[in-house]
Structure 1
Amino acid sequence: MKVVLSILSILWLMGVTVIQGRPAKEKKNEFKLENVRYFDFEKNSFSNPVDIEIINGKLHSILPNSSGLEIASYVLPGFCDTSVHLGFNSVGGLMDEKSGKLALSSFLAHGFTHLISQNPTPWMKKLESDIQRGKISSPEIRYTGKIIISKTKEYPELPGDLYYQGSNREEILAEVLSQIESKQKIINLYHRYYPGNDFFFDSVLIHDIDVLTQSEKVRLEVTGFTDRVAIYDAIRAGVFRIKDPIFSDDFTSLPVELRNKLIWTPGFYLYRSLGFQNDEERVKEFDSIATNSLFFKLYYRESASIYSGDLVSENLLKARENYSNFIGVLKNDPGILDRIYLGSGAGHFLLFPGVSGLEEYRIYYEVSGDPAAALRTMTVNSCSLVDGYSGTIQLGKEANLVLYKEDPLRTSDSIYKIENIILKGKLIESKQVESKSKVKSKK
């Protein structure tokens, strides 16, 4: 049976098999992408036109294309987002099953095949069996345990499904041990120093937690909320997996040998969005995203407008100054991209699934002027934290690919122009009403 498949104008939520590029032969558990260029990270450029054969979900062969056609499609490895919050729905509420399904589709629609999220919520546990049976298309998700945070006057009570709040050292260490015993592989501490509280993390406690996690081969992460004390506490404790931005002065004051150990997830887009001066600027931002992403336009644009007024800050000037300071690190040291691991914070207020990840990438691209290095942050770098996936296109490995009709690195916006997704060796097709693409088959 020969299947002739048209190029999609948009990515759909889920559906039947589709292919981008020239007509491809398809058998059960086997198909070929013909006349495509894939990104080669060793050369930092796209390959010459090739044919990629996928069998039983894995990349079986990559051979030169002999058609002689100059125009070819483009292939990137699936993207990884190392910091998402599937407990929250991006408009200030808790995620439920309906918004959760939409979020999973949105991540895929924007090229993210692998995620690291906080503790799974009850709705996600309900969906897991459907995902495993292939009823729902979903990125591969790895979870941290409950986020561990000290109980303070600023945060007296947080949702118990998502957070553990400790009032003393013994309670914190007991929770860490409990998560280790429950086979958690990632432990996430939220640390910010607030004067006047009876208990808070310090470098000694963080070091003791790190000793426990290292003995069990568990990864420890510290979210520092841009706070100098918190970031220095983590680094003094020997923990270099840091989330959230670092002020330029704080960064440059670190010895080079310590900077070079950082595994840093800055989350610039969150802090950029806090600096919009008024609703008009925010509307302009959402209109721009809607131009690039039909998925966002159809499913999130309206809710973004409804809730945008709540984000007007009393400290806009300070927010803008802070963002400019954070970006200064990247401007002054573009090489820091080698140590940046993309984490979008999707789920936080008005940080939408998949969209916030691509907007984070666009900041790296535009500030550094280095598309390949920006791409590396959400593939090779971020995917190194995911079991079994390298964020590269390798023979014998699972096929997780993002397909484009045109060069996705030509401009920062081009990354949005996705034609198809291959997830675990399966092609994903859309069911969006505005699509006119059809699948034709011959016997």
Structure 2
Amino acid sequence: MKNRRLLSLTLFLSAIAPSILLSQSLKMKSVRIWDSEKANFSGFVDLEVGQGKILSMKPASPKPNPEYLLPGFCDASVTISANGQGGKTNKAELSRVFLGFLSAGFSHIESVGDPNLTSLQSDIVRSKWNAPILSQTQKPHLYPDLEVGDGSNYQSGLKGNWDSKRNGHVPIFLKEKENRGFSQTELFAKRKELESNGNLAVAYTFADKTSWEDALDTGFTVLFHPMPVGTNLYRTQKRDFLWAPLFGILYLQELKRKPEVGKEEAVTWAKVHPYFGKVWKENLIWETENSEETESEPFSLYASQFRLETETHSNLLFASGSGHWGLFPGQAAVVEVMLWESLLQEAKKKEEKPNVASKGFWESLFGNKSYTLLPTNRDEESLPQVRRRIIQTLTQTTCQYVGADHGGRLRVGGPAHFSILSENPLKRASGIFPIESMVLGGKLVYTSKPTKEGTAK
């Protein structure tokens, strides 16, 4: 009887995912794997996984319609305790939160501004939730005049307690109050102190020009938030740096003031991230046209600055900002990647004259002209190159930044963290998303196909 049940389970899993079995051993025939060294897909290989690691990758015969494997993606800034609707995440929602990340191919996420996650790690094990691998920064530092309150998730000033259960990334929020903030002397000293102990100071600039220049002048090597117009990158103390633009945060604020367009965008996000469509799309309440608007710079200004500073495009670090308003697990990454793809392709010189889209919302976002994405078969050089750069950022660059155990690569002997796609993401119209299935540590933790209760969903 036991053997019959095992056979039935095997046949069932084979039906929903022909090349994957939920077991310690996993074999896939004639697949194409992302080669991080070449920033492209390899030839055909037979893949074998066991005990959570990749045991072998052997050359295989080509086959039509192969599956494509991408290393697990990494996200450098999420807030798990915020629910994307202006509220807090409750415990009952956590399993859905984690599946949101897995369903977009993320194996590792870094938490910023959350309460201590030690107890959550225990809950994940006890509840047997499928979840990405979590890391957490130290508590962010705020300018002393900004109130943090008792039991806060933040620290006041540049002195504070060190939590050995968190990683060595130390966010410093360069958010001023009444034009007062950290001095360059303070920032330089704090950065040097952290680096001397093997840790890393990270600047959150809140798209403020002075904060950007202070961070660069004092030698910060990692910056978050969009670059404002007029930022001087050619100062005498300019250094190489990693930059996570977090465009999605400002983009959603723009859409919030244009709810009808926001609703149309949500339909697109749901198509390329079906889990968002299933769980969160209908819960996203857009404000009415008459709602009170907060003053902010138009997104088009930041988009123009990004296109202008082409040298920074090789320094990109991926962060989705999940938890901010309108940004949900997985879907936040879809929004950010779609913005990157549009802006990077516009910035890249094309021999073929682009199609000019009709005037409207996209014109207000991206400037005087808005270009539709050219079909891949008419833009064989530009679009795949842009997507290759984005995939390298989602994997190798960001995974090494967050300290992911697979380093954003798929290699023999390395951890088996990867997503599975039924089409080549460099060529299909929808781009990098959606994924079909996600494997973490050799285990199938998500599939878009129907499953029985107790298996990956």
TM-score by length of 1: 0.82
Q: What is the rounded CA distance, in whole Å, between the counterparts of 2:99 and 2:136 in structure 1? A: 18
Q: Where does residue 87 of structure 2 map in the other structure?
A: 93
Structure 1 residue aligned with 2:441: 424
Quote the Cα distance in structure 2 between the aligned partners of 1:5 and 1:111: 23
1:33-182 aligned at under 5 Å gives the runs: 33-66=28-61, 68-118=62-112, 120-121=114-115, 124-132=117-125, 135-152=128-145, 155-157=146-148, 160-166=151-157, 172-173=158-159, 175=160, 178-179=161-162
Q: Give the whole-Å Cα distance in 2 for the aligned partners of 1:349 and 1:158.
A: 23
Q: TM-score, normalised by structure 2?
A: 0.80
Contact 1:149 1:164 in 2 (8 A): yes
CA distance in 1, matches of 2:314, 2:390: 9
> Conserved in 1, the CA contact under 8 Å of 2:416 and 2:442?
yes
**Residues 266 and 196 of structure 1: is their aligned pair in 2 closer, same or farther, counting only changes over 3 Å?**
closer
Query: Match of 2:382?
Result: none
Describe how 1:387-398 pairs up with structure 2 within 5 A.
Answer: 387=403, 388-398=405-415
Contact kept in structure 1, 2:81 and 2:114, CA below 8 Å: yes
Establish whether residue 319 from structure 1 lines up as the match of residue 286 from structure 2: no
Letter matched to residue 60 of structure 1 = L
Going from structure 1 to structure 2, the CA distance change for 1:83 and 1:27 (only over 3 Å counts) comes to closer
TM-align CA RMSD: 2.9
Determine the C-alpha separation between the residues in 2 that align with 1:262 and 1:438.
47
| Structure 1 residue 335 displacement after superposition | 4.8
Code of the residue aligned with 1:223 in structure 2: it is Y
Contact 2:74-2:398 within 8 A present in 1 as well: yes
Q: How does 1:198-217 map to 2 (within 5 A)?
A: 200-217=181-198
Contact 1:402-1:421 at 8 Å conserved across structures: yes
Range with bigger deviation, 94-103 or 220-229: 94-103
**1 or 2 for the larger relative contact order (CA 8 Å, sep ≥6)?**
1
Q: Structure 1 residue 413: deviation in Å?
A: 2.6
Q: Which runs of 5+ in 2 are unaligned?
A: 1-5, 346-385
Would you say the 8 A contact 1:240–1:262 is kept in 2? yes
1:366 deviates by 2.1
Cα deviation code 1:4-25 (max 9, x no counterpart):
57789xxxxxxxxx74xx546x
- Please give the alpha-carbon distance, in whole angstroms, between the structure 1 residues aligned to 2:47 and 2:446: 19
Find the counterpart in structure 2 of residue 169 from structure 1: none
CA contact (8 A) 1:180 1:213 kept: no
Q: Residues 173-211 of structure 1, C-alpha deviation per residue, up to 9 Å, x if partnerless?
A: 2x0xx21666641111111233365xx211111112112
Asked if structure 2 preserves the Cα contact closer than 8 Å seen for 1:188 and 1:220, the reply is: yes
Aligned counterpart in structure 1 of residue 254 of structure 2, from 264, 272, 275: 275
> Which of 176, 183, 190 matches 1:193?
176
Structure 2 residue matching 1:326: 3-state secondary structure: helix
Query: Is 2:293 the counterpart of 1:299?
Result: no
Q: 1:184 to 1:419 in 2, by over 3 A?
A: closer
SS at match of 1:282: helix
Deviation at 1:397, TM superposition (A): 0.8
What is the identity, as a one-letter code, of the residue corresponding to 1:359?
A: V
Aligned to 1:229: 210
Q: 1:181 to 1:40 in 2, by over 3 A?
A: closer
C-alpha separation between the residues in 2 aligned to 1:219 and 1:271?
Answer: 26
User: Residue 81 of structure 2 aligns to a residue in which SS?
Assistant: coil
Shift of 1:99: 2.5
Structure 2 distance, partners of 1:141, 1:89, is: 17
Q: C-alpha separation between the residues in 2 aligned to 1:75 and 1:49?
A: 11
Distance 2:183 2:147 in 1: 19
Whether 1:378 and 2:394 are equivalent positions in the alignment is yes
Of the three residues 250, 261, 266, the one matched with 1:286 is 266
Matching residue of 1:361: 337
Range with greater deviation from structure 2 (210-219 or 268-277): 268-277
Change (3 A) 1:363 1:384: same
Q: Give the whole-Å Cα distance in 2 for the aligned partners of 1:27 and 1:342.
A: 30
1:413 corresponds, among 430, 440, 444, to: 430
Deviates more, 1:268-277 or 1:211-220: 268-277
Cα distance in 2 for residues equivalent to 1:272 and 1:126: 33
Secondary structure of the equivalent of 2:107?
A: strand
Deviation at 1:310, TM superposition (A): 9.9
**1:274–1:319 Cα contact (<8 Å) kept:** no
Q: Structure 1 stretches of 5 or more lacking a match?
A: 9-17, 167-171
What is the match of residue 366 of structure 2? none
1:398-420: CA deviations, max 9, x gaps? 01101011112225633222111
CA gap of 1:90–1:208, structure 2 versus 1, over 3 A, is same
The answer on whether the counterparts of 1:404 and 1:418 sit within 8 Å (CA) in structure 2 is yes
Q: Distance in 2 between matches of 1:390 and 1:192?
A: 32
